[in-house]
């Protein structure tokens, strides 16, 4: 065997990587050859590689390189050339890997982890740093990690303790600079996972563009002193993104600077997505050094899901300063469950100052400018503009700034404002305010010395990410006042009204500085119409507004969407950038929808009222109508133009409907039949005559659909018990007595969930909210007990309104609940006889129970959340539980509604005393006595 020794020749100086030439001298034909030279030989001085030619389909895998240092650095200048690779090896996932490699710069390469083909490999990391790869630089590269991939196997830049996972703890990299790169695609754009015991130190992610990731833009944990500064994070093209996390920070990280980042276009490739948006997500727990979120901007926040734009989840010592947030998507159609949170904080000792939060997003979802769950939040000098939502939340929602200032013992936002910032160009990312009212309204903060552009913050700083200086002369359109928003039905002569604001510092005198307001209205079809006017009289002080009515009107009877291009200028205008109202307002005309009138049918007693409700009607003006016939003629009810109506007192059966009209289009709801019950006593068998000590049978005939009920008093009292319908047999009488007959109509029905699922748990308090369309009685309900439950009691309340407070209870009873002697869930009927007095909202509430009773909250075959439960005649509708979605305790309600004749008809029973014999005695001669008896005749009408 012959052994050949080779003396290492550590590279030093300038080299090329050029596939057009062989590996020799100062050239390497491939990245692999260059990596082998470095890994085997180390370096003896600074080394640079200039890349030429390509593309190179291979990996660049570097390990620990002997001789590298702060002086002996390794620099790869890619010159915009491409290295690409599609990996199938779980332990070599990266195109460029620095495994313990120090003082190395990867600059200006195109790094393609998809391999350059139409389909990716199994794995695709652009760049991986692991195993204490310290003091490295990843700069100015284009890194592609697949903009369609949904697997976490694809990441742009990875710092991890493993070559086969991006989320393994380890001393992976410290003092790393990631700067000026464009990262496209991946499950994560950039992923840093430090050491769970000894944090990675001093890493910087600066001025990168991170686009079209599946889930996380920047994902970072277990970092000390990391900086995320000046990055642009968006999803402009991805069509299959999940929830959007712009910057996600976790794992006891501290001393962070999240600063001057631009987070935008969250679902531009999939604008109807209902997935959530988390702009900046901070969840690091209790830390010893401040984590700062400063000078960031958020805009073009598309999609129809919930938005948490700055989300601080329990992280202490956070400082949230000078950020600008605008959620203004007017195409959003989110439901009520898609909430917007401008700044959400649940961490202790958090300072929120100098932020601008503007939420004007459309849709029905609730909106919160600020949402705090901790009293130790410091919040002040913010602009919180949420015109159709809530300025803040702390234990409750506060719609206005004035009310919000009273929250938490007047601790929040004493010096804050709530005004439209009027951004110079939010859709293009220019969130410079032009509202002069915001000028110099912030407070000086030692942490914030400049703005997002690098402009110096002065002694009187501005709120938000941008410093701005308003000009002297400026006018800007604020809103389209007419045609008004909030409706879908417009007339044939809609006035055009525009609100303008003096955006300058000087008072405008329109006699010398004429303002011109123009509106170009484009209908759904046909030519646009231009409206214009000049304002040449009067003055407008700095920051003040003026409504300007333009000459002419617009016919808006045609269905469809109308758009309005609104501009306002003034002579000498020094800020033409805010002369157009953006986005251009739209108004949409939609055909009216009739809706459903409920109850469809119900019965009330004579001289009663009924509560009617119309649901689902839209896009028109409402008018209730009534008729004595189901087929009409119907006539308008004066003043009945809203969705709910309590009828006047009615004495005959009446039919109701609702007309919805928009211009020439009219639609009608279903007809609701309100049947009036007027039971009458027709005849009785009065008077009756009986012998003393006999009983009498009372009878009465009543009007159709009713039965007789008998009483011992003309008014009040309870009905006498009878076993035979339509008659009553008195007890044995010894004196004449008057009884009374009344006619009664009505009946009983059931409402509510018929029975329990039986496996959803128990409780001792809770209730069901319900509405009633008129008086009724809750006769009884069924409750359920667990197997082998002991005997006990239940205290039940009837409460007015949707409440659980028993202080104003309408009725209450405590009933005995017998023991359940079976090994299965068992029902018990509780008799209540609660009188619901009139139409309205109520609560049936369990105030206490021993033992606890079964309630439901399930999505099993018979779900507990199938609210509302409405009785067949519509008298009662159970709308929800006192805790949303829970069905509490009371099953299979039996309810009744009786109508009783206005007066009771007397039935007289005359009682004839028993006959008395008279005896006379006459003595006889023989000593006997002759008795003579005289009898009185009597008669009876009873057989």
Q: Give the pLDDT score at 135.
A: 99
* Sheet containing 697-702, strands listed edge to edge, beginning at the edge strand earlier in sequence: 681-684, 697-702, 727-729
What is the DSSP code string of 724-749? STTEEEPPPBSS-EEEEEEEEEEEEE
The three-state secondary structure class of 680 is: coil
Please compute the mean of the pLDDT values over residues 635-647 and round it to a whole number. Answer: 93
Q: Give the pLDDT score at 646.
A: 85
- Distance (Å, rounded) from C-alpha 524 to C-alpha 103? 63
- Distance (Å, rounded) from C-alpha 213 to C-alpha 216? 6
Please compute the mean of the pLDDT values over residues 239-247 and round it to a whole number. Answer: 96
Tens digits of per-residue pLDDT, 273-303? Answer: 999 999 999 998 877 889 999 999 999 999 9
Using an 8 Å Cβ cutoff, are 591 and 619 in contact?
A: yes
- Distance (Å, rounded) from C-alpha 422 to C-alpha 392? 21
The β-bridge partners of 674 are 602, 654
The three-state secondary structure class of 31 is: helix
The three-state secondary structure class of 536 is: coil
Using an 8 Å Cβ cutoff, are 645 and 638 in contact?
A: no
Q: Give the pLDDT score at 604.
A: 80
Q: Determine what percent of the chain is predicted with pLDDT higher than 90.
A: 75
Q: Give the pLDDT score at 943.
A: 45
Query: Quick one: pLDDT band at residue 796, thresholds 50, 70, 90?
Result: very high
- Distance (Å, rounded) from C-alpha 495 to C-alpha 485? 13
401: enclosing H helix or E strand: helix 401-404
Q: Give the pLDDT score at 677.
A: 86
The three-state secondary structure class of 807 is: coil
And the tokens for 871? Answer: 């009785």
Q: Give the pLDDT score at 334.
A: 66
Q: Give the pLDDT score at 722.
A: 79
Q: Give the pLDDT score at 609.
A: 78
- Distance (Å, rounded) from C-alpha 122 to C-alpha 43? 34
Say if residue 180 is exposed, middle or buried (CB neighbours under 10 Å; 0-12, 13-18, 19+).
middle
Tens digits of per-residue pLDDT, 729-756? Answer: 999 999 999 999 999 887 778 999 999 8
Using an 8 Å Cβ cutoff, are 305 and 332 in contact?
A: no
Which range among 404-418, 428-442, 823-837 shows the weakest confidence by mean pLDDT? 823-837
The β-bridge partners of 826 are 785
- Distance (Å, rounded) from C-alpha 801 to C-alpha 783? 23
Secondary structure letter of residue 438 according to DSSP: G
Query: Quick one: pLDDT band at residue 833, thresholds 50, 70, 90?
Result: confident
The three-state secondary structure class of 857 is: coil
Q: Give the pLDDT score at 332.
A: 73
- Distance (Å, rounded) from C-alpha 329 to C-alpha 361? 5
And the tokens for 28? Answer: 């390497």
- Distance (Å, rounded) from C-alpha 148 to C-alpha 789? 57
The β-bridge partners of 159 are 129, 192
Please compute the mean of the pLDDT values over residues 80-94 and round it to a whole number. Answer: 97
Q: Give the pLDDT score at 131.
A: 98
Instruction: Provide the CA 776 distance to its chain's centre, in angstroms.
Output: 35
Tens digits of per-residue pLDDT, 569-610? Answer: 999 999 998 899 988 999 999 999 999 998 888 778 887 778
Q: Give the pLDDT score at 3.
A: 59
Say if residue 304 is exposed, middle or buried (CB neighbours under 10 Å; 0-12, 13-18, 19+).
buried
And the tokens for 461? Answer: 């700083």
- Distance (Å, rounded) from C-alpha 578 to C-alpha 254? 40
And the tokens for 224? Answer: 């000390």
- Distance (Å, rounded) from C-alpha 63 to C-alpha 400? 60
Q: Of 556, 548, 478, 492, nearest to 515 (Cα)?
A: 548
Q: What is the pTM of this model?
A: 0.70
Using an 8 Å Cβ cutoff, are 109 and 78 in contact?
A: yes
Tens digits of per-residue pLDDT, 133-184? Answer: 999 999 999 999 999 999 999 999 999 999 999 999 999 999 999 999 999 9
Using an 8 Å Cβ cutoff, are 881 and 846 in contact?
A: no
- Distance (Å, rounded) from C-alpha 861 to C-alpha 869? 17
Q: Determine what percent of the chain is predicted with pLDDT higher than 70.
A: 95
In this structure, the strands spanning 367-372 and 390-393 are parallel
Domains of the chain: 1-187+201-212 (no CATH), 475-589 (2.60.40.10), 596-677 (2.60.40.10), 753-889 (2.60.120)
- Please provide the average confidence, as pLDDT, over all residues in the chain: 92
């Amino acid at each position: 065997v012959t052994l050949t020794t080779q003396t290492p020749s550590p590279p030093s100086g300038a080299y090329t990587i050029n596939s057009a030439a062989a590996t020799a001298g100062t050239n390497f034909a491939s990245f692999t050859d260059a990596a082998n030279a470095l890994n085997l030989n180390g370096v003896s001085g600074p080394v640079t590689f200039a890349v030429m030619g390509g593309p190179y389909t291979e990996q660049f895998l570097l390990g620990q390189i002997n001789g590298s240092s702060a002086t002996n650095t390794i620099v790869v200048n890619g010159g915009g050339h491409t290295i690409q690779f599609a990996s199938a090896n779980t332990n070599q996932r990266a195109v460029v890997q620095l495994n313990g490699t120090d003082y190395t710069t990867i600059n200006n390469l195109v790094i393609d982890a998809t391999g350059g083909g139409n389909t990716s490999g199994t794995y695709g990391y652009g760049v991986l740093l692991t195993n204490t790869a310290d003091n490295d630089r990843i700069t100015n590269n284009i890194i592609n990690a697949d903009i369609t991939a949904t697997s976490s196997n694809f990441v742009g830049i990875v710092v991890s303790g493993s070559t086969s996972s991006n989320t393994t703890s380890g001393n992976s990299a410290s003092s790393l600079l990631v700067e000026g790169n464009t990262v496209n695609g991946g499950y994560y754009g950039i992923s840093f996972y430090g050491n769970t015991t000894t944090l990675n130190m001093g890493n910087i992610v600066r001025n990168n563009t991170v686009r079209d990731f599946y889930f996380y833009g920047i994902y970072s944990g277990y970092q000390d002193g990391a900086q995320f500064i000046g990055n642009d994070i968006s999803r402009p093209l991805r069509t299959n993104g999940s929830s959007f996390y712009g910057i996600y920070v976790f794992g006891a990280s501290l001393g962070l600077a999240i600063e001057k980042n631009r987070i935008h276009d969250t679902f531009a490739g999939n604008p109807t997505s209902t997935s959530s948006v988390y702009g900046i997500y901070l969840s690091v727990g209790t830390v010893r050094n401040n984590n700062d979120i400063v000078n960031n901007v958020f805009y073009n926040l598309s999609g129809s899901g919930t938005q948490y734009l700055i989300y601080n989840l329990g992280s202490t010592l956070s400082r949230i300063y000078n950020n600008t947030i605008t959620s203004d998507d007017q195409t959003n159609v989110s439901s009520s469950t898609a909430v917007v949170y401008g700044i959400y904080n649940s961490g202790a000792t958090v300072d929120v100052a100098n932020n601008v939060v503007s939420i004007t997003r459309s849709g029905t979802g609730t909106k919160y400018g600020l949402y705090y769950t901790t009293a130790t939040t410091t919040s002040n000098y913010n602009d919180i503009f949420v015109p159709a939502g809530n300025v803040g939340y702390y234990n409750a929602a506060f719609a206005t700034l004035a009310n919000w200032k009273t929250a938490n013992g007047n601790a929040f936002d004493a010096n804050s404002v709530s005004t439209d910032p009027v951004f110079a160009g939010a859709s293009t990312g220019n969130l410079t305010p032009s509202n002069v009212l915001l000028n110099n309204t912030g407070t000086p903060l030692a942490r914030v010395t400049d703005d997002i552009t690098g402009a110096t913050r002065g002694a009187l700083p501005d709120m938000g990410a941008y410093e701005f200086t308003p000009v002297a002369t400026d006018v800007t359109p604020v809103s389209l006042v007419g045609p008004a928003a909030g409706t879908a039905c417009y007339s044939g002569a809609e006035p055009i009204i525009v609100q303008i604001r003096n955006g300058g510092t000087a008072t405008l005198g329109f006699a010398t500085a004429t303002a011109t307001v123009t509106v170009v209205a484009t209908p759904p079809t046909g030519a646009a119409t231009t409206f214009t006017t000049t304002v040449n009289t009067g003055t407008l002080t700095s920051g003040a507004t003026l409504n300007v009515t333009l000459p002419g009107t617009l016919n808006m009877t045609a269905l469809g969407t109308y758009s309005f291009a609104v501009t306002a200028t003034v002579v000498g205008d020094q800020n033409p950038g805010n002369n157009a109202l953006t986005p251009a307002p739209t108004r949409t005309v939609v055909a009216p929808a009739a809706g459903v009138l409920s109850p469809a049918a119900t019965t009330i007693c004579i001289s009663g009222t009924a509560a009617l409700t119309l649901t689902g009607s839209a896009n028109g003006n409402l008018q209730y109508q009534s008729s004595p016939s189901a087929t009409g003629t119907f006539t308008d009810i004066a003043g009945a133009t809203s969705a709910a109506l309590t009828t006047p007192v009615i004495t005959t059966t009446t039919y109701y409907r609702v007309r919805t009209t928009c211009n020439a289009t009219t639609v009608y709801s279903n007809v609701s039949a309100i049947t009036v019950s007027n039971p009458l006593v027709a005849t009785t068998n009065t008077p009756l005559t009986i012998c003393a000590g006999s009983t009498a049978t009372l009878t009465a005939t009543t009007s159709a659909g009713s039965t007789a009920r008998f009483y011992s008093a003309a008014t009040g009292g309870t009905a006498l018990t009878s076993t035979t319908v339509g008659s009553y047999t008195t007890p044995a009488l010894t004196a004449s007595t008057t009884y009374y007959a009344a006619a009664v109509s009505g009946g009983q029905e059931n409402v509510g969930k018929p029975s329990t699922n039986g496996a959803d748990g128990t409780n001792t308090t809770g209730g069901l909210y319900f509405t009633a369309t008129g008086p009724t009685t809750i006769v009884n309900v069924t409750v359920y007990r667990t197997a082998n439950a002991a005997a006990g009691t239940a205290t039940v309340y009837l409460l007015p309104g949707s409440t659980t407070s028993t202080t104003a209870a309408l009725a209450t009873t405590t009933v005995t609940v017998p023991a359940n002697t079976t090994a299965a869930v068992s029902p018990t009927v509780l008799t209540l006889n609660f009188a619901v007095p009139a139409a309205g909202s109520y609560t049936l509430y369990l105030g206490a129970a021993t033992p606890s009773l079964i309630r439901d909250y399930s999505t099993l075959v018979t779900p507990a959340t199938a609210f509302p439960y409405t009785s067949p005649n519509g008298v009662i509708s159970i709308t929800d539980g006192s805790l949303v979605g829970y069905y509490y305790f009371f099953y299979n309600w039996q309810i009744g509604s009786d109508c009783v004749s206005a007066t009771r008809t007397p039935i007289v029973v005359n009682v004839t005393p028993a006959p008395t014999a008279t005896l006379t005695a006459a003595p006889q001669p023989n000593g006997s006595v002759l008795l003579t008896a005289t009898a009185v005749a009597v008669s009876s009408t009873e057989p």
